[in-house]
């Protein structure tokens, strides 16, 4: 199947109370691990690509790898720009073949965020590309996006509802207490914000910083209207742990396939677990 916009599966996810995972691509092994997990679980999936990862892999390689994964798997797969910082980078990705984009205007005042996001939605929808917007500021560090805990601001439900009504984004990321990276303690998720916003907008809510959120909290968030959950750090941790262990045990090993192969397996296992937890297995 060619790459599809998120509207191919997100409305169904919200209606049937499951969530589709966004798993970030970091290199070829991540791409293969994520798509193999999708094939084994018969799950739709979203390849997330941050601007940092795009610089690392190269835009053309990124699109080519995602396309091959989607076409050979037969699964509904979206290639999605994660935290796009400008209209220009969004356009560059759409032109290169992305089927979905996030425009993160959360650091702008509300009016400016609405104005800029609307501009992205108009251009993206004209060519069949889905759009995710963000309201409130999600804490933690993710590539180019770094937010101090003090500056992380929860989304105000009435503002989030107005943001959606004016922009008509296909997926709405709101800050509800999760953060990018791994948590030191247990994250305090504000379920009442998810509940109020989800009941008043058509678009599913997106949970960023899904790594390390307890399973029960994930299930509750989905039951309230979360339809997309982003996971990256847990995959990185699983891969690196295995690679480090192998290299520690065999200091003379030099063939990358001998440690990247097991690293890839470790990522696949995490992604499969998440697909089952999110309820997206057998929904492709």
**Contacts to Zn ion by CB under 5 A:** 208
Which residue is closest to Zn ion by CB? Answer: 208
Residue 49 or 238: which CB sits closer to Zn ion?
Answer: 49
Among residues 82, 144, 215, 255, the one annotated as catalytic is 82
Rounded-to-integer distance, Cα 35 and Cα 250, Å: 29
CB atoms within 10 A of CB 112: 11
Q: 25 or 242, CB closer to Zn ion?
A: 25
State the minimum distance, in angstroms, from the CB of residue 150 to Zn ion. Answer: 18
Report, in Å, the least distance between residue 228 CB and Zn ion: 11
Q: Which helix (H) or strand (E) holds 100?
A: strand 100-103
Write the DSSP string, 193-235: HHHHHHHH-SSPEEE---TT--HHHHHHHHHHTEEEEEE-HHH
Do residues 32 and 264 make contact, with C-beta atoms less than 8 angstroms apart? Answer: yes
- C-beta of 208 vs 264, nearer to Zn ion: 208
Q: Considering beta carbons, is residue 229 or 267 the nearer one to Zn ion?
A: 229
148 contact partners, CB below 8 Å, separation of at least 6:
139
CB of 255 to Zn ion, least distance (A): 34
CB of 191 to Zn ion, least distance (A): 19
Torsion sign across C-alpha atoms 98, 18, 143, 32: negative
Would you say 207 or 222 has its CB closer to Zn ion? 207
Say if CB 100 and CB 6 are below 8 A apart.
yes
**Could you tell me the smallest distance in angstroms from the CB atom of residue 211 to Zn ion?**
11
> Under 8 Å CB-to-CB from 191, ≥6 apart: which residues?
176, 220, 221, 224
* Closer CB to Zn ion, 208 or 228, in the complex: 208
Q: Are 284 and 275 a contacting pair, CB within 8 Å?
A: no
Calculate the CA 104 to chain-centre distance. Answer: 13
Give least dist CB 140 to Zn ion, A.
8
Question: What 3-state class would DSSP assign to 12?
Answer: helix
DSSP code of residue 177: S
Active site residue 82: yes
CA–CA gap between residue 271 and residue 32 (Å, rounded): 11
- Annotated active-site positions, please? 82
């Amino acid at each position: 199947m060619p790459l599809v916009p998120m509207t191919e599966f997100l409305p169904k996810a919200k209606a049937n109370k499951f969530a589709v995972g966004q798993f970030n691509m970091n290199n070829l092994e991540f791409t293969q691990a994520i798509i193999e997990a999708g094939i084994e679980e018969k799950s739709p999936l979203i390849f997330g690509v941050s601007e940092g990862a795009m610089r690392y892999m190269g835009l053309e390689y990124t699109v080519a790898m995602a396309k091959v994964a989607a076409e050979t798997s037969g699964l509904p797969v979206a290639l999605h720009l994660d935290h796009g910082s400008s209209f220009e980078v969004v356009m560059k990705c759409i032109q290169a073949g992305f089927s979905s984009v996030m425009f993160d205007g959360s650091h702008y005042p509300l009016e400016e965020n609405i104005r800029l996001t609307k501009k992205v939605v108009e251009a993206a929808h004209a060519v069949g590309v889905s759009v995710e917007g963000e309201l409130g500021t999600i804490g933690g560090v993710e590539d180019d996006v770094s937010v101090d805990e003090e500056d992380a601001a929860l989304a105000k439900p009435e503002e989030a509802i107005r943001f959606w009504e004016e922009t008509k984004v296909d997926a709405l990321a709101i800050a509800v207490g999760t953060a990018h990276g791994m948590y030191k303690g247990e994250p305090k998720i504000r379920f009442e914000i998810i509940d109020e916003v989800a009941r008043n907008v058509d678009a599913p809510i997106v949970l960023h910083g899904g790594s390390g959120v307890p399973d029960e909290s994930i299930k509750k968030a989905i039951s309230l209207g979360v339809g997309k959950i982003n996971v990256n750090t847990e995959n990185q941790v699983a891969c690196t742990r295995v690679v480090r262990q192998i290299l520690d045990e065999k200091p003379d090993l030099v063939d990358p396939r001998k440690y990247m192969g097991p690293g890839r397996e470790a990522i696949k296992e995490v992604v499969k677990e998440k697909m089952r937890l999110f309820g997206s297995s057998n929904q492709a």
